[in-house]
Amino acid sequence: MMLLFVCLLCLPLSVLGDDRDAHLYRVDIYMPPEKGRDETAEIRQINDKVNDLTDIKVLFSFKELGNTRIVLVLDVEEPGSWSQLMGFLSRKGYDFSAVSLYPCGVFADDLGVTVPEEM
């Protein structure tokens, strides 16, 4: 987990900055070991799918040898591409989670809400 945090800190500030048009997500895809599973081919298939979606840019990807998790940080430019990717992962039966990296303060400003400083 510490390595993931350090890697996210290595992303350019322009990526994690105050860009109101940025829709950044961290996607964790879990690939538990299965007998006969070709992990390399499955990872390649996921990469091919993401690369086919022109409205999604991969800012960071990581797979540690022996770990069951693939981590992607994605810039999603169009909602349609996001639903295509989520549909693909669901159809393949992957256990995955997605977390928005959209800055909370910017989100609150967009909603017209004041967030207390202690939050």
Do you know the residue count of the chain? Answer: 119
More confident residue, 97 or 33: 97
Closest CA to 31 of 67, 61, 74: 67
Q: What percent of the chain has pLDDT over 90?
A: 23
| Number of Cβ within a 10 Å radius of residue 53 | 19
Domains of the chain and CATH, by start: 20-111 (3.30.70.1150)
| Mean pLDDT of the residues in the chain | 77
Residue 74 has pLDDT above 80, yes or no: yes
What does the block give as tokens for 43? Answer: 């990872």
- Both tokens assigned to 5: 């945090």
Highest mean pLDDT among 75-79, 106-110, 113-117: 75-79
